[in-house]
Structure 1
Amino acid sequence: MVDFSKHEQVVVIYPHPDDESFGTSGTIINFREAEVPVTYLCGTLGEMGRNMGSPFFANRETLPKIRKQELIDACQVLDMELVMLGYRDKTLEFESKDEVAEHLKKHIEKLGATLVITFYPPYAVHPDHDAMGEATFEAIRKMDQDKRPELWATAITNDRKDVLGEADIVIDTEPVFERKLEAIKSHRSQAEGMLNKMQESSNFKGEYENALQRLQYETFYRVNVDEVGS
C-alpha cells in the first residue's frame, strides 16, 4: 500500500506529451488527492510524432502547437504544474547526458522533490524514453546522498519482468480511472487513433477491455542509482 501523503513534492520526468497520461496519470491523481504537489518536466513537444489525429486534423507544421495545447489541457485535468524543457523530439539520445542531467538536477533541487518518477533505461522501448531516464538517473546521482529524492521508474519492454523481476509498486487506478481516461483523451491527436483502431477491429469489445485493464494498473520499480549502471 502506497502512502501518497508522505511526500512533499513529486516530480515526473518524461520526454513526450501523453507519456504522463498513459502511464502515470492515476498515480498523479492519487498524489494530488493527498494534497501533494506534482510537477511535470516534459522534455519535448512530441513534434516528430506520426499520429496526426484520426481522421487527420494536424499536419507536420501544426502538430507542435496542437500537442503543446493537448499537454496543457491534460495537466489541467491532472491538476499538476507543467515545465516544458524545450528539447527536440527524437533527438534526446544525441544530447549530452551530462548537460541534460545538470538541467534536470537544477529543477529537481529547486522544486525540493522528495519523489521523482521517470522511465527505466534501457527498458522503455523508445530512444527518447531511455535517454530521458538515463539523464534523470544521472541527475539524482549528481546530488548529495542526503538530499536525493526517492526514485520510481517505469519499465515497459516485454522482457522487463525477466530482467528486473516483479515491479515494486503496483497502483490500481480503478477509483480514479475516469479522470485518467479524461487526461488520456486530452491528447486527442494521439489517443483517437488508438481508439479508432480498436473500434475497427472485429474483436473491439475484447481489445477495448484488454486495453483498459492494461491502463488500469500502473507499475514502478524503486531504483537506487548507485546500484545501476551510469
Structure 2
Amino acid sequence: MNKEKHVVVIYPHPDDESFGAAGTITQFRKQGVPVTYLCGTLGEMGRNMGNPIIANRETVPEIRKKELINACKLLDIDLHLLGYRDKTLEFEDVTEVALHIKSLLEKLQPSLVITHYPDHAVHPDHNALGRAAIEAVRLMDENLRPTVWAQAITNTAYEDLGKPDIVYDVEPYFDQKMAAIQAHKTQASGILSGFKRKDKSNESLREIALERLGKEAFYIWDFKS
C-alpha cells in the first residue's frame, strides 16, 4: 500500500464505510494517514431496525447517525455529513452534487478518493453518489486531482470490468472491521444473518463474515478514457 497524504471515502449510507472499506481504512490509519468519510445520507429509509428492534421510522435517522459517529470513532476517522436524503440521490442533479463534493475535496486536498463504481454498486444511491464523486474529481484541476479507487460490488463486476486493480486481504484488520460493522446495531444483525448457510450451521459469525467481507477490491478510475 502506497503512503497517501489524505484519504477521502465517499459512500451514501452509514455502514457503507464499515462493510465496504473498513479494512482498507484501518491499514491507512495504521500508517498514520488521515481518513475522512463524506457520508451522503443518514440511511433514514432503510428497513433494518435492529434485532431485537431498537428503532422505528421516526427515530431511525438519529439512531443511525449515532451509530455512524461510533463507527467512525472506532475506525479513528473524521466524518462529514453531506446532508442528502436516503433513496433520493439518483434524482439529484449530478453536477450540483459533484460541485458540492468538489468544494470539500479542494479544502481537504486528498491524494486518494474511495467511492463506488457507477452502475456496478447494486443500490441506486451507491451508483448515483459514486458517479457524482468521480465527476467531482474530474472537474478538479488536473494537476491537483486525487487518484480514485472505485469499488464494484455487482455479481457481474469481474465479467464486465475485468479483475480489480487493487485487492486487499484485510484479515489482519478484521476484528476492527467487525467492531465497526457491529457499531451499526440497526443494520449489522440483519445483514450478517443473511450470510448464514444452512449446510454450515457450526460456522461462527466471524468466519461467515470473513469469507464474504475479508477482501476489499477496487478499480483505479481512468480519467483519460
Shorter-chain-normalised TM-score: which range?
over 0.9
Report the secondary structure of 2:18's partner residue.
helix
Indicate how the Cα distance of structure 1 residues 182 and 146 shifts in structure 2: closer, same or farther if over 3 A, else same.
Answer: same
| Partner SS for 1:190 | helix
Q: CA deviation at 1:210?
A: 4.1
Task: Structure 2: state its 5+ residue gaps.
Answer: none
**Residues 1:119 and 2:116 are matched in the alignment:** yes
Match of residue 52, structure 2, among 43, 55, 71? 55
Q: Is the 8 A contact 2:43 2:64 kept in 1?
A: yes
SS state at 2:48 partner: coil
Change (3 A) 1:170 1:74: same
Q: What SS does the aligned partner of 1:16 have?
A: coil
Query: Residue 226 of structure 1: SS of its match in structure 2?
Result: coil
Name the residue aligned to 1:74: 71
Q: Output the amino acid matched with 2:211.
A: Q
The one-letter code sitting in structure 1 at the alignment partner of 2:221 is: V
CA contact (8 A) 2:45 2:87 kept: yes
Per the alignment, residue 209 of structure 2 pairs with 211
Contact 1:140/1:225 (8 A) holds in 2: no
* TM-aligned CA deviation for residue 55 of structure 1: 1.6
Query: Would the alpha carbon gap of residues 199 and 174 (structure 1) be closer, same or farther in structure 2, given more than 3 Å must change?
Result: closer
Deviation at 1:171, TM superposition (A): 0.7
Residues 1:199 and 1:79: Cα distance change in structure 2 (over 3 Å): same
Q: Give the distance between the partners of 1:22 and 1:36, measured in 2 at CA.
A: 20
Matched, 1:143 2:136: no
How many residues are treated as equivalent by the alignment? 224
Q: Distance in 1 between matches of 2:185 and 2:107?
A: 32
Matched with 1:167 is 164
- 3-state DSSP class of the match of 2:224? helix
The whole-number CA distance in structure 2 between the counterparts of 1:84 and 1:142 is 21
Matched, 1:224 2:222: yes
Q: Which runs of 5+ in 1 are unaligned?
A: none
What is the SS of the residue equivalent to 1:184? helix
What residue number does 1:189 align with?
Answer: 186
| Alpha-carbon separation, structure 2, partners of 1:17 and 1:226 | 32
Structure 1 residue 111, shift from structure 2 partner:
0.2
Per the normalisation by structure 1, the TM-score is 0.93
Amino acid corresponding to residue 41 of structure 1 in structure 2? L
Q: What is the Cα-based RMSD across aligned positions, in Å?
A: 1.5
Aligned with residue 40 of structure 1, among 28, 37, 51: 37
Number of the residue aligned with 1:153: 150
User: How much does 1:199 deviate?
Assistant: 6.3
Question: Partners of 2:159 and 2:64 in 1: how far apart?
Answer: 35
CA distance in 2: counterparts of 1:144 and 1:97, whole angstroms: 19
Determine what percentage of the aligned residue pairs are the same residue.
57
> What TM-score comes out, normalization by structure 2 length?
0.95
User: CA shift at 1:60, angstroms?
Assistant: 0.2
Residue matched to 1:19: 16
TM-fit CA distance, 1:207: 8.4
Which residue matches 2:177? 180
Distance apart, 1:25 and its partner CA: 0.4
Please state whether the residue corresponding to 2:167 is helix, strand or coil: strand
1:93 deviation in Å?
0.4
Offset of 1:112 from its aligned partner? 0.7
Deviations 1:159-201 (A, max 9, x none): 0001110111011111111011000000010001234455694
Shift of 1:215: 0.8
Tell whether the 8 Å contact from 1:137 to 1:225 is kept in structure 2 after alignment: no
Structure 2 counterpart of 1:10: 7
